[in-house]
């Protein structure tokens, strides 16, 4: 119906609908798009305006420290504000658009990983992944990825028993950074439907409830106006950090079992450059042919990473792991380091494939961040934003198991490459250096985890809060485990699943 600036409404306006979606990021918009043109009257309450504005963005400010076993704490206080965008479209304004589905292993309960297992399987997600791909205008990801026929795109011939496989990644243009007009259509066109109203500059600051029913929302604008919103059902879609903030700030809503905000999972990327003593993170491929499937000539082209499937994880007792290969120029400050690398690579190639020419590539490693109740978001009541909301405090913890897992996965891949005659891996990082050299993704997962059992999850398998029968949560906060792929395609797939559920629930009612 419209996109309305909530600041232009008379003070204390009562907003009413069948459903209120809190947050107009990629998750909230995906849900609204699904409901557009349908029988339900839907309101989207979005904190920001159409574009990024510093005053609104400042509402995200908080504090963050990363902790890892045996390493010095790393303060990252700018992280909460810099890792997401508060405007219609959310972090879609700046995201890289990299997409891939979670692997079947990510959904599985893996006894060696505490808290693992989703209440849904990869196969059950296929239709939703397909629809999410269609929305993002990218090719679909079939459950079995076909082997390319092009010679330059042949996957590494790793032994099946090792369980490593090429995991595809593609990029969508639906991003403010890639194709602004396409992104603008994605985030605004749905509001033309007669049943949809989007309110901008409308910050939800409190969720009110009576017993197990949410009864309304307090809405605040930065200019001082206050409104209320009321609906039969509500969907919280404010992102993996803010979902927690709003629940905790609403008298601990959903937190009966002290789970809200715990299990924060964020992906870290690990690699290093060479120095005078050691080579950096390097892969010497024993085949002379370029590995175009993995290391494309241009960034943002479809490619594969080397992933650790369930057999690999089972064998190594690890979680998910990927190595992303890239083309790089190798030059070392100390010529002997480079000479050793060339010599090792050449010898390996001769041994492995009887060839002369090896192929040096850089790589970075990522491992699944294991669910850990101590890795968590809490509120800091002494620090408040311009609307009086307590700011977040993120304590991002990587335990000993996370780093052991990384090292075991690196060794496992190195062994698989060597045993199959496909190459050698160089990994020279010590345990105590890992946190310092890692770079933090902007993926915020796990903080309102999905589980059938209310003592083990904040939301049920449909995304409904265990503690409130008319409040649902959308976004990566519901992921029980983090996998290793970028999360947004899965956010969209789960949101489409939620949309179907909400529609069927309506029909049943």
- List residues near another protein by CB under 8 A: 155, 157-161, 165, 277-280, 284, 336-337, 339-344, 346-348, 350-354, 411, 414-416, 418-421, 424-429
- Residue 268 found at the interface with ligand FAD (CB under 6 A): no
Rounded to whole angstroms, the Cα distance separating 448 from 457 reads 7
**Which of 103, 242 has the CB closer to another protein?**
103
**Which of 203, 286 has the CB closer to ligand FAD?**
203
- Considering the complex, what minimum distance in angstroms separates the CB of residue 448 from another protein? 38
- Residue 242 found at the interface with ligand FAD (CB under 6 A): yes
- Residue 116 found at the interface with ligand FAD (CB under 6 A): no
Which residues in 398-434 are b (16+ Cβ under 10 Å) and which e? bbebbbebbbbbbebbbebbbebbbbbbbbebeeeeb
- Considering the complex, what minimum distance in angstroms separates the CB of residue 220 from another protein? 53
Rounded to whole angstroms, the Cα distance separating 293 from 311 reads 22
254 binds, among another protein, ligand FAD, none (CB under 5 to 8 A by kind): none
Counted residue by residue, the chain has a size of 509
Quickly count: other Cβ atoms within 10 Å of residue 338's Cβ.
16
Task: Catalogue the E-assigned strands of 196-332.
Answer: 196-200, 203-210, 213-220, 226-230, 233-236, 268-270, 282-285, 303-308, 321-326
421 binds, among ligand FAD, another protein, none (CB under 5 to 8 A by kind): another protein
- Considering the complex, what minimum distance in angstroms separates the CB of residue 85 from ligand FAD? 6
Interface with ligand FAD in residues 38-67 (CB under 6 A): 45-48
**Which of 73, 160 has the CB closer to another protein?**
160
- Residue 491 found at the interface with ligand FAD (CB under 6 A): yes
- Considering the complex, what minimum distance in angstroms separates the CB of residue 424 from another protein? 6
Rounded to whole angstroms, the Cα distance separating 459 from 471 reads 9
Closest CA to 491 of 38, 52, 29: 29
| Consecutive H or E run containing 16 | strand 14-16
Rounded to whole angstroms, the Cα distance separating 326 from 288 reads 15
Among 3, 15, 20, 27, binds ligand FAD (CB under 6 A): 27
User: Which residues, including other chains, have CB under 8 Å from residue 185's CB and lie 6 or more apart?
Assistant: none
Range in contact with ligand FAD (rule: CB under 6 A) among 308-316, 339-347, 351-359, 487-495: 487-495
- Residue 83 found at the interface with ligand FAD (CB under 6 A): yes
488 binds, among ligand FAD, another protein, none (CB under 5 to 8 A by kind): ligand FAD
CA dist list (Å): 66 to 239, 374, 407: 20, 12, 19
Among 203, 271, 286, 462, binds ligand FAD (CB under 6 A): 203
Q: Maximum distance among all alpha carbons in the chain?
A: 79
343 binds, among ligand FAD, another protein, none (CB under 5 to 8 A by kind): another protein
Cα angle value 199/200/203 (rounded, 5°): 95
Rounded to whole angstroms, the Cα distance separating 341 from 417 reads 17
Applying CB under 6 A, which residues contact ligand FAD? Answer: 22-28, 45-48, 83-84, 86-87, 90-92, 94-98, 203-204, 237-239, 242, 246, 442-443, 475-476, 486-488, 491
């Amino acid at each position: 119906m419209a996109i309305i600036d909530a600041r232009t409404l008379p003070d204390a306006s009562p907003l009413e609908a069948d459903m209120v979606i809190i947050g107009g990021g990629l998750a909230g918009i995906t849900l609204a798009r699904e409901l557009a043109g349908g029988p339900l009257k839907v309101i989207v309450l979005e904190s920001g305006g159409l574009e990024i504005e510093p005053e609104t963005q400042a509402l995200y400010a908080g504090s963050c420290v990363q902790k890892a076993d045996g390493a010095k704490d790393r303060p990252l206080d700018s992280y909460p504000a810099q890792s997401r965008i508060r405007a219609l479209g959310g972090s879609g304004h700046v995201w890289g658009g990299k997409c891939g589905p979670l692997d079947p292993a990510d959904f599985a309960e893996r006894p060696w990983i505490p808290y693992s297992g989703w209440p849904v399987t990869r196969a059950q997600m296929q239709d939703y992944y397909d629809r999410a791909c269609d929305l993002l205008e990218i090719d679909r990801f079939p459950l079995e990825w076909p082997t390319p026929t092009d010679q330059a795109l042949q996957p590494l011939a790793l032994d099946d028993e090792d369980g490593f496989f090429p995991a595809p990644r593609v990029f969508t243009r639906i991003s403010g950074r890639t194709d602004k007009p396409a992104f603008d259509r994605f985030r605004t066109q749905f509001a033309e439907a007669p049943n949809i109203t989007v309110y901008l500059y409308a910050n939800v600051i409190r969720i009110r409830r009576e017993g197990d029913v949410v009864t309304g929302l307090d809405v605040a604008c930065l200019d001082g106006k206050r409104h209320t919103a009321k609906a039969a059902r509500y969907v919280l879609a404010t992102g993996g950090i803010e979902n927690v903030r709003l629940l905790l700030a609403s008298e601990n809503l959903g937190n009966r079992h002290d789970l809200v905000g715990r299990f924060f999972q964020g992906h870290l990327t690990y690699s290093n450059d060479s120095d005078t003593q050691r080579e950096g993170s390097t892969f010497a491929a024993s085949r002379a042919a370029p590995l175009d499937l993995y290391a494309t000539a241009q960034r943002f082209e479809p490619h594969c990473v080397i992933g650790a499937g369930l057999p690999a994880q089972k064998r190594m007792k690890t979680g998910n792991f990927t190595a992303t290969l890239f083309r790089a120029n190798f030059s070392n400050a100390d010529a002997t380091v480079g000479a050793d690398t060339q010599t090792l690579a050449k010898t390996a190639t001769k041994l492995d494939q009887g060839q002369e020419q090896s192929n040096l590539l850089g790589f970075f490693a990522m491992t699944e961040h294991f669910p850990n109740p101590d890795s968590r978001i809490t509120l800091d009541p002494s620090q408040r934003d311009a609307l009086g909301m307590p700011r977040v405090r993120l304590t991002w913890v990587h335990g000993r198991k996370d780093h052991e897992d990384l090292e075991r996965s690196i060794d496992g891949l190195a062994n698989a490459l060597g045993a199959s005659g496909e190459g050698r891996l160089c990994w020279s990082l010590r345990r105590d250096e890992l946190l310092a050299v890692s770079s933090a993704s902007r993926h915020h997962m796990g903080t309102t985890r999905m589980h059938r059992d209310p003592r083990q999850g904040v939301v049920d398998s449909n995304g409904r809060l265990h503690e409130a029968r008319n409040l649902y949560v959308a976004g990566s906060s519901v992921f029980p485990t983090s996998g290793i792929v970028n999360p947004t395609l899965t956010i969209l797939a789960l949101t489409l699943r939620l949309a179907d559920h909400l529609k069927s629930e309506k029909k049943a009612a």
